[in-house]
């Protein structure tokens, strides 16, 4: 699987393990798989993904980018370059003689250990925790779906606003054109000085043969020829 790369700056504080986890998300891995492969805490990975503008789908655990037409995440080029420097963590080996504190185990290991324990208190606590997790997932699913819907609605509103602005510019240009046409039709073609002189002579109005026409003669002509 390949990831889409965009030329945009990476966030400050980005580390190779987080960058590689984001790369895995962009390649189509689930958030749990990406966190397990890179040893990045799942909650932290989800938070970083949100800062990229992505949403983790509550059911599929896949990353979604509402800003992209196909909803597929696009990784910044700097993050992709940083992800290439990531080195897999060395596995920790616990020998039979070593005792591991269960509080230091990962959550998945803790649940596995609890499920195999026959202690009644442990089983009761496990049941309560699993019920709480189910409620949490349901609540988070609603929040995530609303976030995706709101992001899509914001994108549609932005496109609609841009279209309205474009139409308003076209309407303003059309109004100016109509105004110019009306003024042109109202004023009509300009009358030549020769025509005005000929009219003035035919009506006994003194007029010079050459030079600029007197404004009084022009006013009399306009009064006799209203538009």
Q: In this predicted model, what pLDDT tens digit does every residue of 102-139 receive, in sequence order?
A: 344 446 667 777 777 778 888 888 888 888 888 888 88
Are 227 and 187 in contact by the 8 Å Cβ rule? The answer is: yes
For residues 68 and 53, what is the distance between their CA atoms, to the nearest angstrom? 10
What is the percentage of the chain residues whose pLDDT exceeds 70?
81
Residue 59 contacts by C-beta under 8 Å, 6 or more apart in sequence?
141
Could you tell me the residue ranges of all domains in the chain?
4-83, 103-162, 193-224
Express each pLDDT in 201-225 by its tens digit: 888 888 888 888 888 888 888 888 8
Least confident of 65-69, 157-161, 186-190: 186-190
What's the Cα-to-Cα distance from 116 to each of 15, 94, 105, 120, rounded to whole Å? 36, 19, 15, 11
Higher pLDDT, 22 or 7: 22
pLDDT band with cut points at 50, 70 and 90 for residue 2: low
pLDDT band with cut points at 50, 70 and 90 for residue 75: confident
Model confidence, pTM = 0.41
Rounded to an integer, the average pLDDT of 157-181 is: 87
Higher pLDDT, 183 or 32: 32
Are 56 and 31 in contact by the 8 Å Cβ rule? The answer is: yes
Are 2 and 73 in contact by the 8 Å Cβ rule? The answer is: no
Express each pLDDT in 25-36 by its tens digit: 999 999 888 988
Least confident of 4-8, 29-33, 38-42, 46-50: 4-8
Give the residue ranges of DSSP H helices in the chain: 16-26, 31-38, 42-51, 77-83, 107-115, 120-187, 193-202, 215-224
pLDDT higher than 80, residue 157: yes
pLDDT higher than 50, residue 81: yes
Higher pLDDT, 93 or 145: 145
Nearest Cα neighbor of 6 from 80, 82, 86 is 80
pLDDT band with cut points at 50, 70 and 90 for residue 24: very high
Residue 215 contacts by C-beta under 8 Å, 6 or more apart in sequence?
none
């Amino acid at each position: 699987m390949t990831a889409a790369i965009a030329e945009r700056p990476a966030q400050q504080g980005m580390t190779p393990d987080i960058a590689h986890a984001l790369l895995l998300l962009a390649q189509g891995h689930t958030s749990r798989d990406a966190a397990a492969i890179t040893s990045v805490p799942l909650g932290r990975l989800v938070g970083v993904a949100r800062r990229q503008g992505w949403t983790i789908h509550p059911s599929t655990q896949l990353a979604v980018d509402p800003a992209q037409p196909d909803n597929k995440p696009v990784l910044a080029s700097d993050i992709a370059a940083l992800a290439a420097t990531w080195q897999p963590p060395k596995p920790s080996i616990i020998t039979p003689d070593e005792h591991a504190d269960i509080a230091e185990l990962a959550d998945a290991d803790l649940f596995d250990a609890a499920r195999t324990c026959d202690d009644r208190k442990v089983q009761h606590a496990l049941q309560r925790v699993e019920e709480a997790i189910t409620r949490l997932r349901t609540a988070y699913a609603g929040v995530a779906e609303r976030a995706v819907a709101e992001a899509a609605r914001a994108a549609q509103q932005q496109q609609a606003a841009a279209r309205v602005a474009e139409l308003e510019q076209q309407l303003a240009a059309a109004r100016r054109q109509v105004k110019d046409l009306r003024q042109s039709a109202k004023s009509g073609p300009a009358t030549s000085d020769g025509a005005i002189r000929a009219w003035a002579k035919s009506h006994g109005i003194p007029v010079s043969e050459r030079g600029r026409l007197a404004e009084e003669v022009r006013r009399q002509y306009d009064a006799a020829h209203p538009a």
